[in-house]
Structure 1
Amino acid sequence: MTSQPHAQPPHPQTPGPPPGCPAHGGGDPVPLMGPRFHTDLEGVYRDMRRTHGPVVPVVLPGDVPSWLVIGYKEMYQVTTDSTLFPRDVGLWNQWETLPEDWPLRPMVGQRMPSVYFTVGEEHRRHLTMVQDALERVGHVELRRSTESIADGLIDRFCGAGEAEVISAYAKPLAVLALARMLGFPESDDEALIHSLGAMADGGADAIGGFDHSLELMGRLVGHKKTTPGADVVSYMVTHPEPFSDQEYTLDLMAITAAGYLPTADWIGNSVRLMLTDDRFAASLTGGRHSVPEAMNEVLWEDTPTQILAGRWAARDTRLGGQSIKAGDMLLLGLAGANADPAAHDPGSSADGLRNSNFAHFAFSHGEFQCPFPAQEIAEIIARTGIEVLLDRLPGLDLAVPADTLARRPSPFLRGMTVLPVQFAPTPAYGG
């Protein structure tokens, strides 16, 4: 779970990189789109690192320039120094040239009264309220609720002997587990699945999905202010520090949108790893010891949130050998930094660091990282979902060759588009 509300951009034809882009002071920036981001991601970052080093000039759709930080040391510096690299979108030196219909506006955001888009003392005020509410979530009850939802979803397909894990299980499980925790009524389930899915997919109905989601959340905030219960939204609206209904609603949107797709992709990417890598075969025969190892390796090697926007340079500076101008945007290349060879012991085994070390950037880092209670919640939902799936479906295996599996065509969010599986048919728990 990251602390950014994701809206996946459309995927227009990528223009050629503009030579000598002014914001980069010359040189050819790398287009941050294209099929290699889901067919050869390792090669993409290797080529970037070889050509440009740990800080890469990139161009976003619409010829919008930025910097992509893929060095582990540089990522630590940027996310730690919030004075030099604040998360203040108002500093961006591209606003005057940015088209109103630029497809990545929802990802970059604007100054809004929410936990994600505020800075300084105002950010800390929102963060305290959100974090206090999330810390009150009972982990035992969350696991039980997630197990119940997982069983209900599996009951729908367990007798068929085949299923598509992403659409039939991982995505609805993430939405429904979050919905129960937040306090949404079951009557909103289908609407939430549809609207959040549309928003995350970034298609023609993405804005409509966002608006409908916001409407559902505003309605929930109003209800919980008069009828609070044992749920996160009730904890938010009864917090001692007062907030407006708009602030509550936008903070709720940040929690929900940031938790939905990354958690679903954590499930999908982990199941894919366990079905395609012999090291995790033990878990498929009833053992549990490999599940957390697979989940941690995914956070290192295949993290759901690949790139976050971002930080903005408060003044002219240098980073990773590059000259950064005041107002330049820096994209946080979480996956690139995780893969930085400088961060790994060359004398260790290929997977030694990942299985025993949690110093990855999957949840970002520093003042604006995903709050720790949110990380715990995402881990509980994802691990519970994986374990129930393995328990319920004996002989679980891929239904297609592994090399035919397709990923979402985005450099920002990395997950499977589909994950077809087969298994021995079993009766539904619900009869």
Structure 2
Amino acid sequence: MTNPPPSDDPLAGSRIPLYGPQFQRRSADLYAEMRRAHGPVAPVLLDGDVPAWLVLGYREVQHVTGNPQIFGRDPRRWNAWDRVPPDWPLLPLIGYQPTMMFTEGAEHERRSGALDEALADVDQFTLRVEAQQVADRLIDTFAGSSQADLIAQYADGVPLPVVARMIGVPESETADLVREVYTTHAAGEGANEAYARVREKVQRLVRFRRESPASDVTSRLLAHPAGLTDEEIAEDLLHLMNAGQLPTAYWIGNTLRLMLTDDRFATTLFGGRRSVGQALNEVLWEDTPTQNFPGRFAACDVWLGGRQVRKGDLLILGLAAANHDPLVRMDPQTSIGNQAYMSFSHGTHRCPYAAQQIAEVIAEAAIEVLLDRLPDVTLTVPADALTWRPSPLFRGLSALPVKFTPA
């Protein structure tokens, strides 16, 4: 896919590719360069040289997410669909699907409200215990050796089994789901086919739970007074699993990296649990798992950050860039302890508060179990040798090789 930018695009020569190897280095530097060159809203190119806007400013992200009547969520508003081929790798993330994520107005309130309530009823104690059990089983597979990759062998494997159990997926199917979800979010070859397979698995789950309800999120959605259809529930569960796996796995991996490489945390690795919450919070500011989130679509011509955005233009929410906006973080250290980050987005389409709490319980449990089981874990490579997966949308390590005393 090498389509050139539209010939009538006045910004064709200044658009910055939002893909490529530059995302494997410190992405914050790239966002700072964009901000210096273009201000709080930068013209960018997505994979295949498809034009869009990247919203870099904290206040601008707040404005976009807080005004859904001006910046809609339905991707059918997009004015560049004629440039998108059927095998576009970002299609599973940007293309319209009948999920809650792409609804607007009263329909979004109906479906998101039902999911919020179903998630709020998840027992936090049980959730933590289940996360600890999953973490222990994963550590059992490599604890007898003296080394491991804490990304492939640990962080990647924790969230989805817990979320799957929470929604009622049989444990025997979770391994396949992990592989399919990662294939989808890698936005590469086979992404569309993987997305279809995950949807089919979730549809089967909903049919099964309608016949055999239990104490899980799927059963609560089926019984909710919002009157959700099987199709609506399947699509919203699909979104929940996708949103719960990658960002939470990256949150675990990025936090472990911080605790293993930063001297402020090194002295507390040997049993100091008070640092885990601080590290989790700091990662959301400094290396948030969801870097850029597509998207919003202008419902009319509008000015944003000094840029004229045309009706139907796509805006990518620069969540990581907003977290580093110097206009709101003149002294970065003063913000580490608060939760004003944009990591879970903002406005009516933000990540539900209950989902945020669930992700935090899973991540914290995973890190604490690892430190309890392997208290002398250390990196086997220099910190600056660690590499990041080359994704413009997410920030997660390719590997985190460590050594430890066999347990």
TM bin, normalised by shorter chain, reads over 0.9
For residue 269 of structure 1, report the CA deviation from its aligned partner: 0.3
Equivalent position amino acid for 2:362 in 1: I
- Partners of 1:237 and 1:173 lie apart in 2 by 26
Q: Does structure 2 conserve the Cα–Cα contact (< 8 Å) formed by 1:21 and 1:29?
A: no
Equivalent position amino acid for 2:35 in 1: R
Over residues 263-317 of structure 1, what are the superposed CA-to-partner deviations in whole Å (9 max), with x where a residue is unaligned? 0000000000110100112331110111111111110110000001111111111
1:377 is matched with: 358
1:168 is matched with: 153
Q: Is 2:127 the partner of 1:128?
A: no
- Partners of 1:57 and 1:24 lie apart in 2 by 10
For residue 138 of structure 1, report the CA deviation from its aligned partner: 0.2
Aligned with 2:334 (options 346, 352, 356):
352
SS in 1 for 2:151: helix
SS in 2 for 1:332: strand
1:6 is matched with: none
Go from structure 1 to structure 2 and tell me whether the alpha carbon gap of 1:377 and 1:76 turns closer, same or farther (over 3 Å shift): same
Equivalent position amino acid for 2:334 in 1: G
Q: Does structure 2 conserve the Cα–Cα contact (< 8 Å) formed by 1:172 and 1:193?
A: yes
For residue 236 of structure 1, report the CA deviation from its aligned partner: 1.0
Q: Is 2:200 the partner of 1:200?
A: no
Question: How does 1:18-417 map onto structure 2 within 5 Å?
Answer: 18=5, 22-23=8-9, 28-110=14-96, 112-346=97-331, 350-354=332-336, 356-417=337-398
Q: Give the structure-2-normalised TM-score.
A: 0.96
Q: Does structure 1 conserve the Cα–Cα contact (< 8 Å) formed by 2:43 and 2:52?
A: yes
For residue 21 of structure 1, report the CA deviation from its aligned partner: 6.1
Q: Does structure 2 conserve the Cα–Cα contact (< 8 Å) formed by 1:282 and 1:290?
A: no
Aligned with 1:421 (options 395, 402, 407):
402
Q: Give the structure-1-normalised TM-score.
A: 0.91
**Which shows bigger deviation, 199-208 or 180-189?**
199-208
Q: Does structure 1 conserve the Cα–Cα contact (< 8 Å) formed by 2:3 and 2:83?
A: no
For residue 219 of structure 1, report the CA deviation from its aligned partner: 1.0
- Partners of 2:185 and 2:272 lie apart in 1 by 34
For residue 33 of structure 1, report the CA deviation from its aligned partner: 1.2
- Partners of 2:84 and 2:179 lie apart in 1 by 30
Over residues 366-411 of structure 1, what are the superposed CA-to-partner deviations in whole Å (9 max), with x where a residue is unaligned? 0100011000000000011011111110211111111111101011
- Partners of 1:312 and 1:199 lie apart in 2 by 23
- Partners of 2:8 and 2:257 lie apart in 1 by 42
- Partners of 1:239 and 1:122 lie apart in 2 by 15
SS in 2 for 1:366: coil
**Which shows bigger deviation, 81-90 or 377-386?**
81-90
For residue 16 of structure 1, report the CA deviation from its aligned partner: 10
Equivalent position amino acid for 1:77 in 2: H
Over residues 16-50 of structure 1, what are the superposed CA-to-partner deviations in whole Å (9 max), with x where a residue is unaligned? 985x8645556511111121112131221121111
**Which shows bigger deviation, 266-275 or 209-218?**
209-218
Q: RMSD between aligned alpha carbons?
A: 1.7
Q: Does structure 1 conserve the Cα–Cα contact (< 8 Å) formed by 2:54 and 2:317?
A: yes
Q: Does structure 1 conserve the Cα–Cα contact (< 8 Å) formed by 2:90 and 2:187?
A: no
Give the % identical residues.
46
1:3 is matched with: none
- Partners of 1:203 and 1:340 lie apart in 2 by 31
Q: Does structure 1 conserve the Cα–Cα contact (< 8 Å) formed by 2:92 and 2:192?
A: no
Equivalent position amino acid for 1:179 in 2: A
For residue 203 of structure 1, report the CA deviation from its aligned partner: 3.5
Q: Gaps spanning 5+ residues in structure 1: where?
A: 1-11, 427-431
- Partners of 2:383 and 2:88 lie apart in 1 by 35
Over residues 41-78 of structure 1, what are the superposed CA-to-partner deviations in whole Å (9 max), with x where a residue is unaligned? 12211211111000000011222111000011111111
For residue 212 of structure 1, report the CA deviation from its aligned partner: 2.0
Equivalent position amino acid for 1:130 in 2: L
TM superposition outliers: structure 1 runs of 4+ over 3 Å: 15-18, 20-27
For residue 425 of structure 1, report the CA deviation from its aligned partner: 0.9
Q: Does structure 2 conserve the Cα–Cα contact (< 8 Å) formed by 1:69 and 1:331?
A: yes
Over residues 333-390 of structure 1, what are the superposed CA-to-partner deviations in whole Å (9 max), with x where a residue is unaligned? 00011111111134xxx42311x21101000000100011000000000011011111
Equivalent position amino acid for 2:381 in 1: V
Equivalent position amino acid for 2:200 in 1: E
